[in-house]
Structure 1
Amino acid sequence: MEIHIISLIILLLIFIIGAVFSINVGVLGFIAAYGYLVFSNSIELADIYAKFPADLFVLLVGITYLFAIVQTNGTIDIITNWGLSLVRGNVGLIPWLILFLCALLTSMGVASLAVCSIVAPIGLKMAYDSKISPLLMAMMMHLGIVIGGFSPLSLFGVIVNGVIQSENIPFSPIKLYLNIAIFILILSVVIFILLGGLKLFKQKSAASIESMEQNINYIVAQPPKVKLNRYQFMTLVGILLMVVLVVGFELNMGFTALTIALLLGCADVKNQNAILAKVPWTVILLVAGIVSFVGVLDTIGTIGFVSDQISKFANPVMATLGASYLGGFVSVFASTTGFLAAIMKFAAPILTDPTLSTTAVVSAIAVSANIVDLSPLSGGGALFLANAQGISQSKMFRQLLLGTVGLTLLGPGLAWLVFIILGISF
């Protein structure tokens, strides 16, 4: 037990040191993993290499490389203008436009990470152009993805429904989807207000006067019609092709993005060095390092130790609260997809308790495990960090981390209060 407590303290210190001294957390993670090897002598170097997130590394490189091309050739500006035309200059509606777009795509079965990889560069570019807080925009995108993530057609919805059905427990996938959608929409309104979203509605009238006087603020005016050149058209086709190949044919997203980026790069060879320079290598190092260290913690049993502590609750109501917080805590660092299946298996005994609603318990645990994926250590959070503009990466990292801490501390408890204690559930 002592070694697990020490490991958790080291993990906490990594984040504190990285935040205070602006040191890349990934480097700290790699060093901590190797330090554990040297001083504990209980793992081997091969264990550290085995925990390196190769799939996440390829995903981040492929997606950021592809969208570096999209940004460099001006395609993302055209997409931004199209989006702005939908809200007709009302800046306050832009975050909601992005939220509902993310919710729609994930509800249709598009993978959460695929939606994030496609929408994050566009949404954060719109946030920069419209002077919207990048944290607010990242949160609205994330919450939109959470809404659609538990659709019966979406990956998380399929996982949860499959596990519950395997336990032969009566359950309604549609009710789960509606529960989480309404809960997240209400939470989105609260977050939108807390992060200054109401002020954005005032930007339209103020900026319109400036536009009339100086004729320079295209954000609030009707965006000009821009024609696509051949290379930009190829880029849009490439993005669409990636979505089709990943969603329709289940090809690996990272390698698919790399392949399309390579093909587009062949049409613009002279700018390849500039494009590669825009790939956020510091973010990729950050994610790879810390995920590797958390993998070491999994190898030595620290993650299992935390799970065992939570499982000691006997009261089903308190067990649901414990499972919700366990889901939130572990999902900050680990794969939500894998952990969601495990936590639902753990929750199966709670679901059979006649005093609790099955849908309510599943809703509380499921949303708790997914709501923390804003973390810059997750695939989605890393993409938010990589695409943020007008803000230093260290500052955006701290903001995302602080937002994740807030969601981790308050989200599971709020879901438990709403679904279990108040019994507000379909």
Structure 2
Amino acid sequence: MSIDVLGIVVLALIFALGTWRSVNLGALALIGAVAVGTLVAGVGLDEIYEGFPADIFVLLVGMTFLFGVATANGTVEWVVDRAAHRVGDHAKVLPWVLFAVAAVPTTAGALGPAGVAILAPLGLRLSQRYNINPVLTSLMIVHGSAVGNFSPVNVLGAIVNQTMEREGLSSNPLLLFAGNLAFNVMLGGVIYWIYGGALRRRGADRSDTTSGLPDPTGGDVAQVPDGSGAVAVRGAAATTIAPSRSLPTLTSPQIVTIGAVLVVVAGAMIFGLDIGVLALTAAVVLRLVTPKSSEGAEKSISWNVVLLMCGIITYVALLQHIGTIGRIGHAVAGLSLPLLAAFIICLIAATVSAFASSAGTLGALIPLSVPLLAQGDVPVLGLIIALAVSATAVDATPFSTVGALTVANAPVSQQQRIFSGILRWGLSMIIVAPVAAWLMFVLVPSL
């Protein structure tokens, strides 16, 4: 058995064992990386450790710690209360509002994790308030963020366009952006249809925030915020409007926390500073200056998600280091059927990117596609768009940075449900995204 086949087989065993025995996949992946690297590939521990994603580690720890502080001192609850008053009784549009808001930072140039790290904890708690499926909320945030991935001013867009120019291929930044935008909006519609059934069935959102109060007429009564600080009491015969409790005023720790979060956002999105380092620094400073109100915030750090994410990435980095990913790509590019080769390259992009860096995957596979594109049987820009979409549509898996952030920042009671839901969706995208992207951007333009 070749080392490439063995590496893939071990990866499959890691997932099988982790599912069968409910063992953290990251821990299994770290052991697998050491075993395959040292015993088979002749790679030293120092080289294996180089694949450990220190930046992802700091990002996950920093963001979950920061919002742990914000949760402990009531800041998150205050923000959710304010947002609930704004949303009122229009919960059906909330997933699409989150989708659109998530698209803004990446379209403006920020990396996906920057916006998702801030929006996910607030969006998930807001959807919890309205009894909205947390998987729906998570996927809408992730794919909303993906809308701007290939904006001309986004790093991913710049990587793809610069790689094309370096390889002598003509690029079209606006068409790349538009193709990715259209694909993710389409996915947003599919996600809402699959996971938003309960929302669609609510005639006037009257069960969004059910209070459980008995209705003297025998019907159900629901308290629904009307967006103006009052609560509409609805039921079989209820039409009255009851005043809601007034929003509490901000405390000093909450004001400081909001200021710290805004500094993190500004530093990451305006000045391009590392959001993980910023978040960790902000969390530590808040713990020092508000020790009583933030007590216990460290317990909010999602160590299980950190281990999962870092272990899987370390193993895939080993496969890249020993050349497995590159050799598979070269073999596919040499196929005599250009359209089939184009599809397989998209499939490889989705599979690898589900567990590794999307930017790294695209940077490796675009040059491998050059011999295929040189034949003239495959539309150049169409294949590049299909590759870009395939490599990023799978980012909803809990093994990607944005996917892991949604799980890590979710309420503890929802984490397993979100993990399972986005895992199923993300793994399905390994097949669905390449097929759909290949049909839309490669096959149809070739006819």
Query: Matches of 1:265 and 1:424 in 2, distance apart?
Result: 59
Q: Which residue of 1 aligns with 2:333?
A: 311
Query: Matches of 2:331 and 2:169 in 1, distance apart?
Result: 26
- CA 1:19/1:335 → structure 2, altered by over 3 Å: closer, same or farther? same
CA contact (8 A) 2:396 2:403 kept: yes
Q: Which residue of 2 aligns with 1:177?
A: 177
Deviation at 1:204, TM superposition (A): 4.3
Q: Which residue of 2 aligns with 1:377?
A: 399
Gaps of 5+ in 2: 216-220, 230-245
Deviation at 1:31, TM superposition (A): 1.8
Output the amino acid matched with 1:17. L
Deviation at 1:78, TM superposition (A): 2.6
Q: Which residue of 2 aligns with 1:323?
A: 345
Q: Which residue of 1 aligns with 2:432?
A: 410
TM-score, normalised to structure 2's length? 0.87
- CA 1:365/1:208 → structure 2, altered by over 3 Å: closer, same or farther? closer
Q: Which residue of 1 aligns with 2:238?
A: none
CA contact (8 A) 1:84 1:94 kept: no
Q: Which residue of 2 aligns with 1:248?
A: 270
Secondary structure at the counterpart of residue 207 of structure 1: coil
The Cα offsets for residues 52-86 of structure 1, whole Å up to 9 and x where unpaired, read as 21111111111111111122222222322333344
CA contact (8 A) 2:63 2:279 kept: yes
Quick check: 337-346 or 56-65, which moved more?
Answer: 337-346
Query: Matches of 1:393 and 1:109 in 2, distance apart?
Result: 29
Output the amino acid matched with 1:332. A
Gaps of 5+ in 1: none
Secondary structure at the counterpart of residue 3 of structure 2: helix
CA contact (8 A) 1:164 1:348 kept: no
- CA 1:48/1:168 → structure 2, altered by over 3 Å: closer, same or farther? closer
CA contact (8 A) 2:30 2:311 kept: yes
CA contact (8 A) 2:129 2:209 kept: no
Secondary structure at the counterpart of residue 395 of structure 2: coil
Quick check: 123-132 or 369-378, which moved more?
Answer: 123-132
* Percent of aligned pairs with the same amino acid: 30
Superposed, which structure 2 residues align to 1:7-406 within 5 Å?
A: 7-37=7-37, 39-40=39-40, 42-197=42-197, 199-200=199-200, 202=202, 204-207=204-207, 210=210, 213=213, 220-222=225-227, 225-352=247-374, 354-389=376-411, 391=413, 393-406=415-428
Q: Which residue of 1 aligns with 2:5?
A: 5
* Larger-gyration structure (1/2): 2
- CA 1:48/1:122 → structure 2, altered by over 3 Å: closer, same or farther? same
CA contact (8 A) 2:164 2:366 kept: yes
TM-score, normalised to structure 1's length? 0.91
CA contact (8 A) 1:356 1:420 kept: yes
Query: Matches of 1:329 and 1:208 in 2, distance apart?
Result: 37
CA contact (8 A) 2:330 2:368 kept: no
Query: Matches of 2:281 and 2:212 in 1, distance apart?
Result: 45
Quick check: 71-80 or 111-120, which moved more?
Answer: 71-80
Quick check: 210-219 or 166-175, which moved more?
Answer: 210-219
CA contact (8 A) 1:89 1:204 kept: yes
The Cα offsets for residues 164-199 of structure 1, whole Å up to 9 and x where unpaired, read as 233343332111111221122122111211123463
Q: How many residues end up aligned between the 2 structures?
A: 425
Output the amino acid matched with 1:150. F
CA contact (8 A) 2:38 2:45 kept: no
Output the amino acid matched with 2:88. R
Deviation at 1:272, TM superposition (A): 4.8
Quick check: 198-207 or 8-17, which moved more?
Answer: 198-207
